[in-house]
Structure 1
Amino acid sequence: MNKKVKSLYFSATDTTKKVITKIAETLSENIDNKRTINNINFTLPEVRNKPISFTEDDVVIVGVPVYAGRVPNVLLKYLNNIKGNGAIAVAVVVYGNRNYDDALIELKDILQSRDFNVIAGGAFIGEHSFSKKLAQNRPDEKDMKIIKGFTDKIYVKLSTENNYDSVVVNGNKPYRQYYKPINKYGVPVDIRKVVPKTNSNCNECKLCVSVCPMGSITNEDVSIISGICIKCGACIKKCPNNAKYYDDEDYLNHKVELEEEFDYRREPEMFIGE
């Protein structure tokens, strides 16, 4: 099989990265018993400024996290400028155990509009960006076994078929509106402008500056947020001193609500074209 495996993903806290690299590595091993993969991590803003294109010889594993039940809107410009040029794609979304809503069908549609042949799709679970206990440590060992089985089926399809039908995935068209949190009184709240605070644990190591996918944390004073905060959790979860935190009442109420309402284990959903 003359195919080159490539991965393309956004992963602020590395959960989506774990899923995508597992699929890409497993598929590459099946194809040529090697791990020769071109990984394109577009989490940081400078990467999203570079044009990207593929060829019909490529199999591209594309992964994004789910934000409010959809593909993160801050990624739409980048995704809608990729050139597929007839490449095969596997669409993957990773969500924090609530629901992936219409994110997977939206990602599939975007890829198809960019001239990708989307032959498979999957919705996997990763630790929620708001929490360290909701879907804690996922994807875990069980998830990884499921991911391998999914990838093995993709390989069989690639190795036994010449023409590929577009995969059908779960989701609504038109897409549902972005999921909105509610406060303790059941009233919808808008937490988009909420930003993390910095406590006295901070030693100015600047790690938070380097991991912010929006480039919004000021290098001269890391307590200043100079741009958009997408609540990805990178600065909080990757800080070695636990110096970043949220204190907004609506945000914290929503976090607790998620942890209590969705504390059961959800399982991945996978789709492969006929």
Structure 2
Amino acid sequence: MKRVITFYFSPTGTTEKIVMEIANNLAEKESCCILHHDFTLPNGRTEYPDFMEGDIVVAGVPVYAGRVPNVLLKYLSGLKGNGARAVAVVLYGNRDYDDALLELRDILNNAGFSVIGAAAFIGEHSFSYKLAKNRPDMTDLEMAADFANRLSLYVESAPKDLYISGNPDYKEYYKPMDEEGNTVDIRKVTPKTKDTCIDCKICARVCPVGSIPEDNVKILTGICIKCGACIKKCPVQAKYFDDKDYLRHKLEMEEEFKERREPEIFL
């Protein structure tokens, strides 16, 4: 029996929306069941689905600094596609997806999948409430549904080497600049917590790297990947960043990349 399987990392839910829209429409077109594997949280990265040759896997990740998030690379290196077909999907915050989609395609190909299609969609930036605000929106979802309809025509006859624009050597991770044009490193920037925190523990439960302990949500016990989950899912907006380089970078992006970008499809 044919199966459509979603396979995604989505701390703020934007990648999940696009992956689900594509997968649901594909499953309807192909008249098959749909299964889900969300590897956003640490416990989702302790095992893999048993992919089979007849499966169609819709694999989605957000773009971090123009690449597949490096925190995922170890987990993704253990994938075994077993000849299943795959759709590569990345979601970026209106700046650029750079080589992330090409990188994801290569990861899937190297894992034994046959990539039949790929797409780069846009979602509200993890740093901002203004950059690509409220995306993916209805237009994006309609394009995702149309992409699924077009994919159904390629399920059995997709080319083995799907073309995707980008640099096969992959660009370096995108780095913000200071006012003098020097690169700045925001990797060690961590979120702060206001006194308005109600200790609901949501931030601890949504942290994709398990760095916020439930017994003290005001501290970090591990890395912060700037995914925005703890900030955007806090019901009282108690989490925030105050690093000057981070904030300047956010404001610069909101101004420079405010023009709407549209999804790109590769078939």
Please give the range of the TM-score, normalised by the shorter of the 2 chains: over 0.9
Out of 80, 85, 90, the residue aligned to residue 88 of structure 1 is 85
User: Which one-letter code corresponds to 1:21 in the other structure?
Assistant: M
CA distance in 1: counterparts of 2:53 and 2:158, whole angstroms? 13
Counting only pairs closer than 5 Å after superposition, residues 113-124 of structure 1 correspond to structure 2 as 113-124=110-121
Out of 37, 47, 51, the residue aligned to residue 50 of structure 1 is 47
- Could you tell me whether the CA contact under 8 Å between 1:9 and 1:62 is conserved in 2? yes
CA distance in 2: counterparts of 1:92 and 1:174, whole angstroms? 19
Query: Which portions of structure 1, spanning 4 or more consecutive aligned residues, are displaced by more than 4 angstroms?
Result: none
TM-score (normalised: structure 1): 0.95
Q: 1:104 to 1:20 in 2, by over 3 A?
A: same
Aligned residues: 267
Match of 1:211 in 2: 206
Match of 2:244 in 1: 249
Match of 1:184 in 2: 179
CA distance in 1: counterparts of 2:157 and 2:135, whole angstroms? 35
CA distance in 1: counterparts of 2:181 and 2:255, whole angstroms? 15
CA distance in 2: counterparts of 1:54 and 1:250, whole angstroms? 43
User: Which one-letter code corresponds to 2:9 in the other structure?
Assistant: F
User: Which one-letter code corresponds to 2:12 in the other structure?
Assistant: T
User: Which one-letter code corresponds to 1:116 in the other structure?
Assistant: F
- Could you tell me whether the CA contact under 8 Å between 1:53 and 1:82 is conserved in 2? no
Match of 1:101 in 2: 98
CA distance in 2: counterparts of 1:254 and 1:233, whole angstroms? 15
| Offset at residue 164 of structure 1 (A) | 4.1
CA distance in 1: counterparts of 2:75 and 2:179, whole angstroms? 36
CA distance in 2: counterparts of 1:5 and 1:107, whole angstroms? 18
CA distance in 1: counterparts of 2:20 and 2:181, whole angstroms? 39
| Offset at residue 241 of structure 1 (A) | 0.5
Q: 1:163 to 1:223 in 2, by over 3 A?
A: closer
| Offset at residue 61 of structure 1 (A) | 0.2
Match of 2:169 in 1: 174
- Could you tell me whether the CA contact under 8 Å between 1:216 and 1:227 is conserved in 2? yes
TM-score (normalised: structure 2): 0.98
User: Which one-letter code corresponds to 2:185 in the other structure?
Assistant: D
User: Which one-letter code corresponds to 1:81 in the other structure?
Assistant: G
- Could you tell me whether the CA contact under 8 Å between 2:37 and 2:49 is conserved in 1? no
CA distance in 2: counterparts of 1:174 and 1:166, whole angstroms? 17
Match of 1:7 in 2: 6
Work out the percentage of aligned pairs sharing the same amino acid: 56
Asked whether 1:76 is paired with 2:73, we answer yes
CA distance in 2: counterparts of 1:249 and 1:138, whole angstroms? 26
CA distance in 2: counterparts of 1:38 and 1:52, whole angstroms? 9
CA distance in 1: counterparts of 2:166 and 2:119, whole angstroms? 12
CA distance in 1: counterparts of 2:94 and 2:157, whole angstroms? 36
Match of 2:23 in 1: 24
Q: 1:51 to 1:143 in 2, by over 3 A?
A: closer
- Could you tell me whether the CA contact under 8 Å between 2:5 and 2:36 is conserved in 1? yes
CA distance in 2: counterparts of 1:215 and 1:250, whole angstroms? 25
Coordinate RMSD, CA, aligned: 1.1
User: Which one-letter code corresponds to 2:167 in the other structure?
Assistant: N
Q: SS of the residue aligned with 1:46?
A: helix
CA distance in 2: counterparts of 1:228 and 1:52, whole angstroms? 27
CA distance in 2: counterparts of 1:242 and 1:185, whole angstroms? 32
CA distance in 1: counterparts of 2:216 and 2:180, whole angstroms? 36
Q: 1:10 to 1:163 in 2, by over 3 A?
A: closer
Match of 1:142 in 2: 139
| Offset at residue 69 of structure 1 (A) | 0.1
Counting only pairs closer than 5 Å after superposition, residues 191-202 of structure 1 correspond to structure 2 as 191-202=186-197
